[in-house]
Amino acid sequence: MNVTTRHDLRRTVPDLIDWVEDLPNLFARPGAADLRPFRLEEHLDDETYVLRAELPGMDPEQDIAIEVVGDQLSIRAERTDRREESDRSEFRYGRFHRVAVLPKGADGTRATARYEAGILEITIPIVESPPESRTVPITRG
């Protein structure tokens, strides 16, 4: 008879969560299957767009790259496995990538980033954008 213990469940549930989080990689383009997502928070008000990314245990100068292209903000990161040996680990190692679509009026050329306590915070000012449409008067003559 096979009996599942509480200890076995503690190991199984994180593995199941990892499997579900990695599910989109099964349908990714070739070569992208090893890119893992990470958690984001976004906040938008009249003056700024703030994106916070959960990236613990990284060196921001060496392990994280941020790029703004058009209306997209791309964050790439890599965490290398520095363990000497371990019986068990729930840490995630490898390459990570997320792309966020910037809100209307975001000035990506003035983006700033700060990394503290495992959280990357990117702040982008919102500039007043011109109206999308206007009525054009017609004159006679």
Calculate the alpha carbon distances from 35 to 40, 60, 96 in Å: 16, 18, 5
Per the document, the length of the chain is 141
What strand order describes the sheet that includes 112-116? 40-44, 48-54, 119-125, 112-116
Residue 104 tokens read as: 């209307």
User: How many percent of the chain have pLDDT more than 90?
Assistant: 48
| pLDDT (tens digit per residue) in 29-74 | 555 445 667 889 999 998 999 999 999 989 999 999 999 999 999 9
- Mean pLDDT for all residues in the chain: 81
Q: Is residue 123 very low, low, confident or very high in pLDDT (cuts 50, 70, 90)? A: very high
Lowest mean pLDDT among 4-8, 97-101, 117-121: 4-8
Higher pLDDT, 109 or 82: 109
Q: Give the pLDDT confidence score for residue 81 in this predicted structure.
A: 77
Q: What are the pLDDT digits (tens) for 9-27?
A: 555 555 666 556 555 555 5
The pLDDT value given to residue 79 = 86
CATH tag for 34-125 (out of 2.130.10.10, 3.30.310.50, 2.60.40.790, 3.40.50.10800)? 2.60.40.790
Region 85-107: what's the mean pLDDT? 85
Q: Are 93 and 83 in contact (CB under 8 A)?
A: no
What is residue 33's predicted lDDT score, i.e. its pLDDT?
A: 47
Q: Global pTM?
A: 0.67
